[in-house]
Structure 1
Amino acid sequence: MERIRFFIFFTFLMSFTILAAQSVFAHSQTGTITGDRVNVREHASMSAAVLGKVHTGDRVEILSSKNGWTNIAYQGGKAWVNEQYVQTDKKEYSSSSHFVRIQTEGTNLRSGPSTSSSVIVQGSAGERYPIVSREGDWIKIRLASGNEAYVAGWVVSSKKAETSALQGKVIILDPGHGGIDGGTSGPSGTSEKSVTLQTAQKLSEELTQSGATVILTRSSDQFVPLPSRTDDAQYHGADAFISLHYDGSPSKKAAGFTTYYYHPQHKKFANSVNHGLDGALSSYNRGTRIGDYYVLRENQRPAILLELGYLTNPTEESSIVSAAYQAQAAAGVRDGLQSYFSN
């Protein structure tokens, strides 16, 4: 009798465990590895022990994410991978060929189609989001995280997206400096390494929404040697490499943005992006110039370096740190890339 009771209890326990596991995995998120020989680590840190490697095209189950790292199911347990090498699967929406553009800084993106619904996040001027559906005067949109939100139709502009020249292009974004290398600093204490990363993240969202595959040379405050940055471009066969910086000068009056290239065949690329920035930013355009920078000189892929304003100019520093300025700069670079790949 005791054996029968034990067997019944064991069978019930196993059935419950299987059902629970099915429930968990039925709601899990999946993704694809975009880099080869990517280290899988025990913890979310570059100093954590390496448990193994994953490769381009590997499918992974995504459990969570934090501080630029993605937690995945790995060999019966859990492990961490740098998030820049994990492309999350996104749902396809019937209205994905349409998008809205945020027109006003601080536009409320809400949890429901009502002004009484809670605010999930605030949008920045120039940002755009794919439309999921419409509910009266409200528009349901998809955020960069994959989550959904609602925005009032009367505070945004909506358009049908044209076929993007960026579709399928591989773009390497290189946020200048990082870690022990802080770069230029402004009178108010703004660190170049921080604003280059913020700008790269905004630009990454813009380009991803336009169909490009975007890879960042760094996704957190870490030091990355210059050869590693150019190696990323070569390894991934980048269609474009863009190094993002903010300028400095002994003169507090120095102002404006500059586009640099090194190899003559990359001048057209530089001119296109400079023109895009000229249409998006109100600051002074210092033009396109030759720059003998390592990430340009030693780069075999189409490469430019952008100085997007002077941190040492107090007026420009106050603009540079704003989400609006960074969104405008991102939109300008996107437009320049669209033009470059269209011709």
Structure 2
Amino acid sequence: MNLKPSLFCAAFCAFCFLFQSTAFAEMVAIKGNNVNMRSGPGHKHEVLWKMGDGFPLQVIKRSGDWLRVRDFEGSEGWVNKSVISKDAHAVVKANKGSDRNVNIRKEPNTKSQVVATAIYGVVFRVLAKKDGWVQIQHENGVKGWIRQDLLWGI
């Protein structure tokens, strides 16, 4: 009996499952302000924290009208499907704990004019993607491009 093909097949299937779960993760965003992140699937569960409009989340599991989700820092909890949207949003994940800002540029390249800066945790609506850059817009009207590797949620 030759176990090599079976082991290879099992390893390949595990790799495909892991790749699928990260590469094709379902992303949602909060719609509304002061939305509760709960410890379990139901209104009776403890409120862990509150989230604002557009906050992006990765769906891990579904249970009826409830979604188990993960945020950009890896924290998990539950939200009701009535408070989520499929509109693409992203959050700045770069430069945590530093005083450096992430540049928002007029065009999608590093030579383009900086129109504004953003810090860790700022949420943007995603407008477009191009060559490793993401066109974003903040709720205050600021619009521009940020390198995709500096964002989470897209």
TM-score, normalization by structure 2 = 0.54
Separation in 2, partners of 1:127, 1:110 = 15
Q: Which has the larger radius of gyration?
A: 1
Q: SS of the residue aligned with 2:114?
A: strand
Gaps of 5+ in 2: 1-17, 134-154
Instruction: Give the corresponding residue for 2:103.
Output: 243
Aligned residues: 111
- Hey, what does 1:125 align to over in structure 2? 53
- Letter of the 2:62 partner, please give it: R
Which consecutive unaligned segments of at least 5 residues does structure 1 have?
Answer: 1-90, 162-201, 206-214, 230-241, 245-258, 261-267, 271-300, 309-322
Give 1:303 shift.
4.7
Deviation at 1:111, TM superposition (A): 0.7
Which residue number corresponds to residue 204 of structure 1?
92
1:1-343 pair list within 5 angstroms? 94=21, 97-158=25-86, 203-205=91-93, 215-216=94-95, 219-221=97-99, 242-243=102-103, 268-269=107-108, 301-307=110-116, 326-327=122-123, 330-331=124-125, 334-336=126-128, 338-339=129-130, 341=132
C-alpha separation in 2, matches of 1:154 and 1:120: 18
Quick check: which one's strand share is greater?
A: 2
Query: Percent identical across equivalent pairs?
Result: 21
CA deviations on 1:95-143 (whole Å, 9 max, x unpaired) are 8521221110111111100111111121111121111010011011112
Q: Which has the higher contact order (CA 8 A, sep 6+)?
A: 2
Structure 1 segments (4+ residues) deviating >4 Å: none
The answer to whether the 8 Å contact 2:56/2:91 transfers is no
CA–CA distance in 2 between the matches of 1:104 and 1:93? 30
CA contact (8 A) 1:111 1:149 kept: yes
Higher relative helix content: 1
Q: Which amino acid letter does the alignment assign opposite residue 116 of structure 2?
A: E
Tell me the SS of whatever aligns to 1:154: helix
